[in-house]
Amino acid sequence: MRAANLAIAVVSILAVLVGVEVFVRSQIDSSPPQQIYPSKETRKVEGGRVFCPDPEVTRPYFESRKRYPGCVFYPRNNVGSRNLFDVHADAQPRFRIVGLGDSMVYGYGVDHEDTFLYRLHESLTARLGSERIEVINSARPGDDLDDAYQLLRGHVLPLEPDLIILGLHLNDFLVFPTQLIRTTYDTPIREYFHLLDLLLSRWELKASGDLNEKEILASYDDESKARLFRQLRAFAATLAKRDIPLLVLIFPLFVDLDEYSFRHIHREIGEFMTAERIDYFDFLRDFSEGGDDTYWITLDDQHPNERAHQVFFERVSGYLDEHLGPG
């Protein structure tokens, strides 16, 4: 009797597993799962470029774009900045703000009119007039602090800016490894049993993320910290000689914000800023309650989207109101 019951139990379990395997095969492509970004397209258009994410990971936001449906617009002006207007050093407005940094400040994956620097420009020009204000987006995707500093000295200072907004992201001074990617099936059994492969792939993704996090944290040592602080002091000193204010924006990683592993790094940077009397905002406090992927530009890309840029705009706009006054 026991043997019969055991046999029935085994058959039942096998039947369930077969059923789940059939379901998984019907829902998931038979090709090996790739832990990489789907393709994205960037192409030249009149006045700049457009960025078009893969339809598999896009959001309704992209389809709602009127000028280029499915894409966002990156304008490029006469000096290479992301602005619709040209910039001329000899045509001085009353107040000129320049943004420097990487893709976070640039607004990668966000339509031009939704970036925080564009909104800042529109808000200030509506209040003060277009002849009295310019907000120039000189950030460049991929730039680190050394790149931004060279751009400041070579191209931005000749424009005689009245305020520099510098973006700071953890990848400016920490090592960000590429995720582990399995491009072929490791064993034949994974090729034929998709349920097993699905479970192992989810474990691999979690394990690679944990490994990446450990490597990132390990790269935050005395040397990287000293280099970061040296770079920030160089920015502050160069601008102080010309009486140009500096505002540093510290951006978090938009991953696991409710259990953020890099909080101590933000705290130490904040302590340094305070000691050096450098004005800054740490946006970690604005996004500490989680909801990470609701701020992503696409389902697979963690760059901050238009909702995050609205938060950036509100904070920076409040700073200008407080420090520069209404006029």
Q: For residue range 265-323, list pLDDT tens digits in order.
A: 999 999 999 999 999 999 999 987 766 678 999 887 889 999 999 999 999 999 988 87
DSSP 125-185: HHHH-TTTEEEEE---TT--HHHHHHHIIIIIGGG--SEEEEEEEGGGTS--PPPP---S-
Question: In which band, very low, low, confident or very high, does the pLDDT at 135 lie, cut at 50, 70 and 90?
Answer: very high
Rounded to an integer, the average pLDDT of 50-69 is 88
Q: Is 48 helix (H, G, I), strand (E, B) or coil?
A: strand
Looking at residue 321, its pLDDT comes to 84
Spatial separation of the C-alpha atoms in residues 212 and 207, rounded to whole Å: 9
Looking at residue 187, its pLDDT comes to 55
Looking at residue 276, its pLDDT comes to 97
**Among candidate residues 249, 256, 250, 248, the one with its CA nearest the CA of residue 302:** 256
Predicted confidence (pLDDT) per residue in 96-108, tens digit: 999 999 999 999 9
Least confident piece of the model among 9-18, 145-154, 309-318: 9-18
Burial of residue 194 (CB within 10 Å: 0-12, 13-18, 19+) is: buried
Residue with more model confidence, 80 or 182: 80
Which range has the top average pLDDT, 170-179, 189-198, 256-265, 272-281?
272-281
Beta strands 279-282 and 296-298, pairing class: unpaired
Looking at residue 259, its pLDDT comes to 83
State the chain's mean pLDDT as an integer.
Answer: 82
Q: What is the fold, at CATH topology level, of the domain defined by 40-174+220-324?
A: Rossmann fold (3.40.50)
300-322 burial by CB neighbour count: b if 16+ within 10 A, else e?
A: bbebbbbebbeebbebbeebbee
Residue 65: which residues within 8 A CB-CB, separation 6 or more?
71, 72, 73, 111
**Among candidate residues 183, 221, 78, the one with its CA nearest the CA of residue 136:** 78
Which residues lie across from 94 on neighbouring strands?
none
**Among candidate residues 84, 50, 82, 83, the one with its CA nearest the CA of residue 69:** 50
Structural domain boundaries in the chain: 40-174+220-324
Question: In which band, very low, low, confident or very high, does the pLDDT at 183 lie, cut at 50, 70 and 90?
Answer: very low
- Where are the alpha helices (H) located in the chain, listed in sequence order? 2-27, 60-63, 103-106, 116-128, 145-151, 188-192, 194-218, 222-240, 263-276, 306-324
